[in-house]
């Protein structure tokens, strides 16, 4: 699987939709819409297949070609023909391009007794670690915080180093990920340590959790540091190096594959949660988050 994230960041004057796309099962697939972006607001979902772009079939279309078509001037419109699971007819969704600016970390205090720190990570970039550190430092100062919910749903990944830093905030020591290169040489990356309390931890994942999200989730699950709740993750277990091109675009080259601390492969497989919780399609309530709060409160009590 090769992923493209060219429209996540501002590239000169170009706009985007706010989606991470990949080729999966020979089809152009949405790994995840990014929260608070045009695609997210238009109702695009993780797992959607892009069958058409502005009426043109995507069959046989290369990933970089699709990215270049989807990217464009802010304020311009593109119409996607979407194949969605359990829906027979093709959905046609029009989206207005915009400059995509993503805040990496969002935090909130939850629970009946205001004793649960909720952290949502939307992407893994250079801002993720300092923003997460700020959130956890605030929780550490708050003596009422007794447990943490880490939300990685619809997080399509990002920088490997950012994933290592995030995992290290919860895992004090030991391996976080094993990386095998093209020559079969394996490098084990250890936790960089932290000074945070060993808060009880629940991690929310779904089919939009990919790549760096799966590194963090797999490390937390394998080390027993916390419980995963939600749905099976996407299954993108490769490391890619991005080369920037003169026009502001880039090309990603797959250089290696990663494995969890217990040496599980994730690529094309994904990670099964410890506790399976399906989303409530016909409800405005976030059943997965509600369940995480319920389970964490029971554990704290």
| Cα gap 241→58, rounded to integer Å | 25
| Cα gap 131→174, rounded to integer Å | 24
> Who contacts 183 (Cβ-Cβ below 8 Å, separation ≥6)?
none
- Which residue in 22, 169, 222, 227 is the catalytic one? 222
Local structure of residue 39 (DSSP, 8 states): H
- Which residue in 49, 169, 227, 236 is the catalytic one? 236
8 Å CB contact between 208 and 234: yes
- Which residue in 168, 211, 213, 256 is the catalytic one? 211
- Give the side-chain half-sphere CA count within 13 A for 253: 6
Q: Does the annotation mark 222 as catalytic?
A: yes
Which secondary-structure segment (H or E) carries 133?
A: helix 128-141
CA distances from 276 to 93, 120, 207, 233, 269 (A): 30, 19, 12, 11, 16
Q: Does the annotation mark 265 as catalytic?
A: no
Both tokens assigned to 209: 């959790």
Catalytic annotation, residues:
211, 222, 236
């Amino acid at each position: 699987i090769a992923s493209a994230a060219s429209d996540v960041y501002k590239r000169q004057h170009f706009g985007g939709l706010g989606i991470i796309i990949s080729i999966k099962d020979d089809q152009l697939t949405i790994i995840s819409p990014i929260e608070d972006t045009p695609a997210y607001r238009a109702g695009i979902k993780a797992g959607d297949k892009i069958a058409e772009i502005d009426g043109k079939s995507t069959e046989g279309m290369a990933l970089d070609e699709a990215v270049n078509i989807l990217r464009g001037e802010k304020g311009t419109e593109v119409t996607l023909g979407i194949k969605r699971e359990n829906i027979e007819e093709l959905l046609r969704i029009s989206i207005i391009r915009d400059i995509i600016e993503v805040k990496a970390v969002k935090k909130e205090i939850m629970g009946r007794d205001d004793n649960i720190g909720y952290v949502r990570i939307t992407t893994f970039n250079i801002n993720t670690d300092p923003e997460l550190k700020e959130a956890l430092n605030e929780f550490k100062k708050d003596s009422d915080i007794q447990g943490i919910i880490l939300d990685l749903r619809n997080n399509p990944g990002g920088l490997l180093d950012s994933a290592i830093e995030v995992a290290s905030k919860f895992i004090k020591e030991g391996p976080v990920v094993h990386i095998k290169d093209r020559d079969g040489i394996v490098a084990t990356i250890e936790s960089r340590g932290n000074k945070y309390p060993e808060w009880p931890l629940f991690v929310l994942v779904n089919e939009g959790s990919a790549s760096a999200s799966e590194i963090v989730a797999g490390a937390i699950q394998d080390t027993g540091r916390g419980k995963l709740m939600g749905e099976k993750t996407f299954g993108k277990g490769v490391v890619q190096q991005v080369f920037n091109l003169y026009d502001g675009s880039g090309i990603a080259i797959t250089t290696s594959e990663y494995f969890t601390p217990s040496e599980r492969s994730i690529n094309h497989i994904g990670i099964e949660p410890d506790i399976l919780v399906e989303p409530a399609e016909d409800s405005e309530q976030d059943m997965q988050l509600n369940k995480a709060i319920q389970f964490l409160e029971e554990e704290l009590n």
